[in-house]
Amino acid sequence: MSKTVPTDADVEAYCTAQPEARAADCRALIALMQQVSGHPPKMWGRMVGFGHHHYVYDSGREGDTFEIGFASGAGGKGDISLYLNCDASVNAGLLVQLGKHRHGKGCVYIKRLADVDKSVLAQLCEAALGALRR
């Protein structure tokens, strides 16, 4: 059973539990992702997610997750993980413009929001949403 399920946990409490600078980054990410997605933030386990996506794999396995979201490293340490489900090969041009980050399959990792171009991040969010909603 997936741990990635929506809960009634308080999103603001999640932000408040972070160190001050990280809490500010979380709130800014919430504003950006809410604006781009058109959905309010919702806690999905330890992640803040926006929207809802039902998926079905070729194997028949299926489940539910958010469309885009993020998680702060425990206690504000470590990276902020941005869950954008974006294909790095398709979004290579945007990733080059993003700023200081690392990326893996479907995730972009940043230390702090000031390290990246927020308008490029918004474009990456839009691209991820577009790919999911097609």
Q: Which of 85, 79, 92 is nearest to 67 (CA)?
A: 85
pLDDT of residue 104: 86
Q: For residue 86, what are the β-bridge partners? A: none
Tell whether the model's pLDDT for residue 1 goes beyond 60: no
pLDDT cut 90: percent of the chain above it: 77
Please state, rounded to an integer, the average pLDDT across all residues of the chain.
93
* pLDDT (mean) for 29-43: 98
Phi, psi (degrees; rounded to nearest 5) at 84:
-115, -5
* pLDDT (mean) for 25-36: 98
